[in-house]
């Protein structure tokens, strides 16, 4: 074999990004996927799509075996962020996200997605701990609840809608409790995750920090 023969495949590379709601992980994940040419999956959308399918079909949100069947047939290619980002779908998603059978079905689909070449970025709550525990780069993106509520508030106001900062802050805290307190796959940083606190960091600074970790891991991959 000569030195310039390249392997006929590119090894896959997975970047796992976790953190609480509104910490900036979605923006960061999309930017990373774009810059590195990797496929991106916002796993929150898989829980949201499962909840929306139940709501649309008039099915109950508290029947685990019905929700499991819906999760098993979910098509990851058809996830529409604009439709799924509605507040009431987020509320419904957090109810199905506590069901172990739903999580099993969705984690299986997420792991299949993570096999795509040349690489993938998955973001959610349990990517580094459960979905892709062997990912060569794990980031845990966080920010204070006040900063996250302020960002949500600014987003809503920028759309020309009315918003109440204190009720958004309550909402952020309630979602943290639900995400961190559930028995199955609670939100927590993996032991080997790099922490990125974006409370006082611009998205560009967060991206540069992430890039340093990713480039170092790519060199040894
Ligand atoms: O990030 P999000 O708001 O789109 O997530 C919707 C719900 O799904 C939220 O209750 C957290 C939950 N979720 C989860 O349990 N595990 C993931 N990997 C992603 C989201």
* Ligand 1 centroid, distance to 158 Cα (angstroms): 24
- Give pLDDT, residue 43: 98
* Ligand 1 centroid, distance to 97 Cα (angstroms): 7
Work out the end-to-end distance of the chain between its first and last CA atoms, rounded to an integer number of angstroms: 21
DSSP state of 79: -
* Parallel, antiparallel or unpaired: strands 119-124 and 194-197: unpaired
Per-residue tokens: 37: 């040419």
Residue-wise pLDDT tens for the chain (221 aa)?
444 554 445 468 999 999 998 999 999 999 999 999 999 999 999 999 999 999 999 999 999 999 999 999 999 998 999 999 988 999 899 999 999 999 999 999 999 999 999 999 999 999 999 999 999 999 999 999 999 999 999 989 999 999 999 999 999 999 899 899 999 999 999 999 999 999 999 889 999 999 999 999 999 98
Which structural domains are found in the chain, ordered by start? 11-38+118-210 (3.40.50.300), 44-117 (no CATH)
Partners of 18 in the β-ladder = 124, 140
- Give pLDDT, residue 12: 81
- Give pLDDT, residue 8: 46
Instruction: Give one word for 203, left, alpha or beta, with left for phi > 0 and alpha for psi -120 to 50.
Output: alpha
Atom of ligand 1 nearest to the CA of 85: 4
Closest residue to atom 20 of ligand 1, CA basis: 44
Between helix 44-56 and helix 100-113 the angle, nearest 10°, is: 130
* Parallel, antiparallel or unpaired: strands 39-42 and 119-124: parallel
- With the most atoms of ligand 1 within 8 angstroms of its CB, the residue from 14, 29, 43 to mutate is 43
Per-residue tokens: 81: 């962020």
Helix/strand/coil for 128? helix
* Ligand 1 centroid, distance to 71 Cα (angstroms): 14
- Give pLDDT, residue 11: 63
DSSP state of 4: T
């Amino acid at each position: 074999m000569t030195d310039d023969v390249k392997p006929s495949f590119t090894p896959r590379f997975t970047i796992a990004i976790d953190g609480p709601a509104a910490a900036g992980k979605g923006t960061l994940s999309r930017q990373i996927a774009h810059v590195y040419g990797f496929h991106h999956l916002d796993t929150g959308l898989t829980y949201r799509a499962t909840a929306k399918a139940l709501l649309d079909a008039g099915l109950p949100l508290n029947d685990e075996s019905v929700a499991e069947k819906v999760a098993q047939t979910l098509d990851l290619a058809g996830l529409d962020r604009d439709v799924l980002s509605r507040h009431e779908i987020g509320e419904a998603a957090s109810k199905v996200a506590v069901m172990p059978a739903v999580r099993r079905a969705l984690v299986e689909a997420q792991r299949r997605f993570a096999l795509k070449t040349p690489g993938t970025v998955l973001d959610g709550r349990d990517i580094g701990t459960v979905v892709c525990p062997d990912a060569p780069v794990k980031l845990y993106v966080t920010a204070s609840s006040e900063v996250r509520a302020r960002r949500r508030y600014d987003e809503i106001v920028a759309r020309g809608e009315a918003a109440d900062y204190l009720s958004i802050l309550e909402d952020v805290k309630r979602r943290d409790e639900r995400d961190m307190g559930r028995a199955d796959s609670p939100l927590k940083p993996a032991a080997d995750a790099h922490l990125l606190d974006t409370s006082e960091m611009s998205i560009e600074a967060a991206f540069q920090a992430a890039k340093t970790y990713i480039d170092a891991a790519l060199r040894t991959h």
